[in-house]
Structure 1
Amino acid sequence: MLNYIPSWIISMVLIILISVLFYQIYFSIINAYSDDKNRITVVDKLGSILPYALPLLEGLQNFGQQILPDYPFSLMSLYKKTLMPFVIFYVTHPALAFIIFFVLYYLFVRAKSPMPNRPFIRFNVLQSILLFLINSLLGATFRALPIEFRVSIYGLMLCNTLFWFVLSTIIYSVIKSIQGKYAKIPVISQAVRIQIDTQ
């Protein structure tokens, strides 16, 4: 029976079930804490880290696959053992990124969100969405360049620069989330603050 169900439907059902489970756990833990919405809890920190997986996978798809094979073997083998299965799943299910994007937007960013108002999570989710969009735009722009340029030394240097820009902003944001502090990425964090303040 399962052989006749497409794999993307099974993936979507699993994502929905995991989301509902996370939603229920999140509510039960948040309700156990005080009503102070500005208090940053462990759940807030965890919930702030998870959305950064979306721009990370997008960056690995757009730039990492082209430059990582040229890195030292130990780094490449670490990538193959940890992140590569996720990147392959992400690449083979292109609609998944946009579904996750809209779920995050619906749950955390909208003014009438069904989730409780947790400014720290909301800030990080919105920042990860913005990083995802910037990453997608950079990747589309890079792919639009002539193939001769992309495989040249200058194209590889540009790809390498874009990859490390994406990776460093995500690592910085995750470290700040673990510390319970707001990341301050020039322009991006300011845009997120403006969006949150206008709602």
Structure 2
Amino acid sequence: MANQLPIWIIVIISTLVSGIISILIYQLYLYILQNKNNTKKSNITLVDRLGSILPYWLPLLEGLQNFGQQILPDYPFSLMSIYKKTLMPIVIFYVTHPALAFIIFFILYYLFVRAKSPIPDRPFIRFNVLQSILLFLINSLLGATFRALPIEFRMSLYGFMLCNTLFWFVLSTITYAFIKSIQGKYAQIPVISQAVKIQINNRL
């Protein structure tokens, strides 16, 4: 793997990151601006939206552990500096406590996914919790598969490209679901969202 990325890759990565951040800020602005109108048109409350955002931290941290740690050091220094000041301490805590992911997984399952859940039925939160669990399992499977590849391949340019692709797949999918949660809308991720709807017996 080269120590320095080509300038065109840096430009593309910087553009993607800037675009994602801009979209998040814009969606937050729209939500605050149109909060009253949205409340009248939908029975999805502010509690539902905030509660639906939190579970996505689990697949995000799993993706950063599996792929982000390997490729982020080769990104432009400014991006790495932002990562070190924001997400890196949380990722380090997550990595050093491997049982934490499974504890959170089972807590989410017990509280929101089980048929006899102690939490009152809130379809929007339940949908996003189950979707975040599926994303977590997919990230774990992709991470285990990638680590099972020969180290020669993983350290090569092709391994870096594969890891980079998987990282952006994880990040873009979670960002999309995050934005939809802020909007109070159900995310439509191919296959995953359909599987979630089937699992909760088409109650949406």
Q: Report if TM-score (shorter chain) is over 0.5.
A: yes
Q: How many residues align?
A: 162
1:87 maps to which residue? 91
Deviations 1:66-98, CA, capped at 9 Å, x for gaps: 000111111100000000000000000000000
Tell me, in whole angstroms, the C-alpha distance in 1 between the residues paired with 2:134 and 2:62.
Answer: 12
Amino acid at match of 1:73: F
Q: In structure 1, which of residues 100, 124, 130 is the aligned counterpart of residue 128 of structure 2?
A: 124
Amino acid at match of 1:59: G
The alpha carbon displacement at 1:161 in A equals 0.4
1:50 maps to which residue? 54
1:156 maps to which residue? 160
Runs of 5+ unmatched residues, structure 1: 1-37
2:182 maps to which residue? 178
The alpha carbon displacement at 1:39 in A equals 1.6
Tell me, in whole angstroms, the C-alpha distance in 1 between the residues paired with 2:64 and 2:202.
Answer: 33
Tell me, in whole angstroms, the C-alpha distance in 1 between the residues paired with 2:162 and 2:201.
Answer: 35
The alpha carbon displacement at 1:198 in A equals 6.6
Amino acid at match of 2:178: V
SS at match of 2:59: helix
Deviations 1:141-169, CA, capped at 9 Å, x for gaps: 00000000000000000000000000000
Amino acid at match of 1:84: M
1:100 counterpart = 2:99: no
Deviations 1:114-143, CA, capped at 9 Å, x for gaps: 000000000000000000000000000000
1:189 maps to which residue? 193
The alpha carbon displacement at 1:113 in A equals 0.3
How large is the RMSD of aligned CA atoms in angstroms?
Answer: 1.0
Deviations 1:36-84, CA, capped at 9 Å, x for gaps: xx82000000000000000000000000000001111111000000000
Runs of 5+ unmatched residues, structure 2: 1-41
Amino acid at match of 2:88: M
Tell me, in whole angstroms, the C-alpha distance in 1 between the residues paired with 2:157 and 2:192.
Answer: 29
SS at match of 1:197: coil
SS at match of 1:108: helix
TM-score (norm 1): 0.80
Amino acid at match of 1:191: A
Aligned-pair identity in percent equals 87
TM-score (norm 2): 0.78
Tell me, in whole angstroms, the C-alpha distance in 1 between the residues paired with 2:78 and 2:114.
Answer: 43
SS at match of 2:201: helix
1:137 maps to which residue? 141
